């Protein structure tokens, strides 16, 4: 019986030492030490032993059990260590692997152009003003010298919310709103960027688009201030070689009024498809603030003068980047936007 016990002990330890996983080890433990295990079976047979033999066999049995348990805990520890190592190895980071590139966002061409315009005018001492997109008939038209039956309203049909409330068609109402707030202080030097709305929709017109308004009011502001400012703006925006041309025009809120062209950004003025072979591109409307606009805004038109201008940001972006359809700027197609 002692022999059987010793052999059993050796076998158990050998098997445990060879166990490849904690599960396998546990299965071996149950097989030898469990309630129905082999060691237990042998010990049950001890009843048939003589009184002298019993303690001796009991001692051997205890030693064998202790040896098996020792092996069991040693193997448990080493298998746990192994599992940990494998886990570490499989979860490790290979720093030599190429990384997953992160998609970087970009600045929308409209925002880029607006930021550039703002930078130029902030550099000239202008500040940025804002006004509501839902505007009253008074600020959008009336105060800008466009009474109810004025034919110039035709070009700026818009979305009316009620008879007197509408989506602004231009950023020009911000002129009046700003002057009302500032009068009688001088000078007023602001640009006012923002969305405007009109009943237009084709490749070069959108029912919603963006404008930047400019306004400078002070004593002795002259038309040459306007010319100098816009010539400088055009050179900064489109390049040092850009020429400007002022053509007489009409706006109800300026007198005199002018439309401003720049030498074509594509052909430099030689004539191409973009400029319809004229060498010039129209970029904005401008003029000397009409005395009536100064007066309704709280300034004495005998003492102060001012100039104003307004440009479409989409148009500037289209000219600058050679974009031929305005709708591309609003469709958010990444294949288009990634080009900037
Ligand atoms: N508000 C005009 C438009 O949307 C543009 C404009 C023309 C603005 C002349 C001005 C200006 O400030 O002086 O067509």
**Pair 221, 72 in one domain:** no
Write out pLDDT tens, residues 257-289.
999 999 999 999 999 988 999 999 999 999 999
Return the bridge partners of 78, or none.
none
What radius of gyration do the chain's Cα atoms show? 44
Is 213 a pocket residue for ligand 1 (Cβ < 6 Å)? yes
**Pair 86, 127 in one domain:** no
Residue 3 confidence (pLDDT) above 90: no
Residue 101 lies in a domain: no
Phi, psi of 200 (to 5 degrees): -135, 145
H helix or E strand, kind and range, residue 335: helix 334-337
**Pair 278, 209 in one domain:** yes
Mean pLDDT of 110-124: 98
Beta strand pairing call for 188-197 and 127-128:
parallel
CA–centroid distance, residue 303 to ligand 1 (Å): 23
Is 312 a pocket residue for ligand 1 (Cβ < 6 Å)? no
The residues, ordered by sequence, that sit 6+ positions from 319 with a Cβ below 8 Å of its Cβ are 238, 265, 274, 281, 283
Residue 97 lies in a domain: no
**Pair 52, 182 in one domain:** no
Phi, psi of 60 (to 5 degrees): -60, -45
Peptide bond just before 256 cis, omega within 30 deg: yes
Give residue 317's pLDDT band: very low, low, confident or very high (50, 70, 90).
Answer: very high
Q: Are 178 and 192 in contact, with CB atoms under 8 Å apart?
A: yes
Tell me, what's the pLDDT at 58? 81
Is 170 a pocket residue for ligand 1 (Cβ < 6 Å)? yes
The residues, ordered by sequence, that sit 6+ positions from 151 with a Cβ below 8 Å of its Cβ are none
* DSSP label of 137: H
Return the bridge partners of 210, or none.
195
Give residue 54's pLDDT band: very low, low, confident or very high (50, 70, 90).
Answer: confident
Residue 104 lies in a domain: no
CA–centroid distance, residue 287 to ligand 1 (Å): 8
Mean pLDDT of 85-104: 88
Is 254 a pocket residue for ligand 1 (Cβ < 6 Å)? yes
**Pair 228, 268 in one domain:** yes
Is 194 a pocket residue for ligand 1 (Cβ < 6 Å)? no
Q: Ligand 1, closest atom to CA 287? A: 13
CA–centroid distance, residue 191 to ligand 1 (Å): 12
Residue located nearest, by CA, to atom 3 of ligand 1: 170
**Pair 178, 46 in one domain:** no
Q: Of 89, 93, 42, 86, which is closest to residue 65 (Cα–Cα)? A: 42
Is 307 a pocket residue for ligand 1 (Cβ < 6 Å)? no
Is 251 a pocket residue for ligand 1 (Cβ < 6 Å)? yes
Pocket residue to mutate for ligand 1, from 251, 255, 257, 313, most atoms within 8 A of Cβ: 251
**Pair 165, 131 in one domain:** yes
Write out pLDDT tens, residues 148-179.
999 999 999 999 999 999 999 999 999 999 99
Residue 39 confidence (pLDDT) above 90: no
Is 140 a pocket residue for ligand 1 (Cβ < 6 Å)? no
**Which sign does the torsion angle of CA 42, 44, 50, 51 carry?**
positive
Report residue 244 as tokens.
């400007």
Tell me, what's the pLDDT at 60? 82
Give residue 12's pLDDT band: very low, low, confident or very high (50, 70, 90).
Answer: confident
CA–centroid distance, residue 254 to ligand 1 (Å): 8
Q: Ligand 1, closest atom to CA 214? A: 12
Report residue 332 as tokens.
């958010």
pTM more than 0.75 = no
**Pair 22, 153 in one domain:** no
Tell me, what's the pLDDT at 37? 83
**Pair 116, 80 in one domain:** no
CA–centroid distance, residue 99 to ligand 1 (Å): 51
Residue 6 confidence (pLDDT) above 90: no
Is 176 a pocket residue for ligand 1 (Cβ < 6 Å)? no
Write out pLDDT tens, residues 189-237.
999 999 999 999 988 899 999 999 999 999 999 999 999 999 999 999 9
Phi, psi of 245 (to 5 degrees): -140, 130
**Pair 53, 177 in one domain:** no
- What secondary structure does DSSP assign to 263-294, as a single string? E-TTTTTS--TTTTTSSEEEEEEEEEEPHHHH
Cα–Cα distance measured from residue 312 to residue 194, given in angstroms and rounded to the nearest whole number: 10
Pocket residue to mutate for ligand 1, from 154, 176, 309, most atoms within 8 A of Cβ: 309
Of 60, 91, 122, which closes a domain? 91
Residue 17 lies in a domain: yes
What percent of the chain is modeled with pLDDT above 90?
66
Please state the three-class secondary structure of 16-46 as a single string: HHHCCCHHHHHHHHHHHHCCCCHHHHHHHHH
Q: Kindly list the distances between the CA atom of residue 275 and the CA atoms of 268, 293, 322, in Å, as whole numbers in the listed order.
A: 10, 34, 11
Report residue 324 as tokens.
């031929």
Number of domains in the chain: 2
Q: Of 250, 213, 231, which is closest to residue 128 (Cα–Cα)? A: 213
CA–centroid distance, residue 144 to ligand 1 (Å): 10
Range of the domain at 156: 109-337
- What secondary structure does DSSP assign to 180-220, as a single string? HHHTTSS-EEEEEEEEEE-S--BTTB-SEEEEEEEEEEETT
Residue 331 confidence (pLDDT) above 90: yes
Residue 55 lies in a domain: yes
């Amino acid at each position: 019986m002692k022999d059987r016990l010793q052999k059993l002990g050796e076998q158990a330890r050998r098997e445990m030492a060879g166990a490849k996983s904690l599960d396998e080890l546990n299965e071996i433990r149950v097989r030898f030490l469990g309630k129905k295990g082999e060691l237990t079976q042998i010990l049950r047979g001890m009843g048939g032993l003589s009184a002298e033999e019993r303690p001796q066999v009991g001692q051997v049995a205890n030693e064998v059990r202790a040896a098996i348990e020792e092996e069991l805990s040693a193997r448990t520890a080493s298998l746990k260590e192994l599992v940990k190592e494998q886990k570490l190895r499989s979860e490790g980071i290979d720093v030599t692997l190429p990384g997953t590139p992160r998609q970087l966002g970009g600045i929308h061409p409209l925002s880029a152009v607006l930021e550039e315009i703002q930078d130029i005018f902030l550099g000239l001492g202008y500040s940025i003003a804002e006004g509501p997109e839902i505007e009253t008939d008074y600020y959008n038209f009336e105060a800008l010298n466009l009474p109810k039956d004025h034919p110039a309203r035709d070009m700026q049909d818009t979305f009316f919310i009620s008879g007197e409330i509408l989506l602004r068609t231009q950023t020009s109402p911000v002129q009046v709103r700003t002057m009302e707030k500032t009068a009688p202080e001088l000078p007023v030097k602001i640009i006012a960027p923002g969305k405007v709305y009109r009943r237009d929709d084709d490749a070069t017109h959108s029912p919603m688009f963006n404008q930047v308004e400019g306004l400078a009011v002070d004593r002795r502001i002259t038309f040459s201030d306007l010319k100098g400012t816009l010539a400088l703006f055009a050179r900064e925006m489109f390049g040092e070689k850009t020429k400007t041309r002022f053509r007489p025009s009409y706006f109800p809120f300026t007198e005199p009024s002018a439309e401003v062209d720049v030498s074509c950004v594509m052909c430099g003025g030689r004539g191409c498809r973009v400029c319809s072979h004229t060498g010039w591109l129209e970029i904005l409307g401008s003029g000397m603030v009409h005395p009536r606009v100064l007066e309704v805004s709280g300034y004495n038109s005998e003492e102060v003068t001012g100039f104003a201008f307004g440009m479409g940001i989409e148009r500037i972006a289209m000219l600058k980047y050679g974009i031929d359809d305005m709708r591309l700027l609003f469709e958010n197609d990444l294949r288009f936007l990634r080009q900037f």
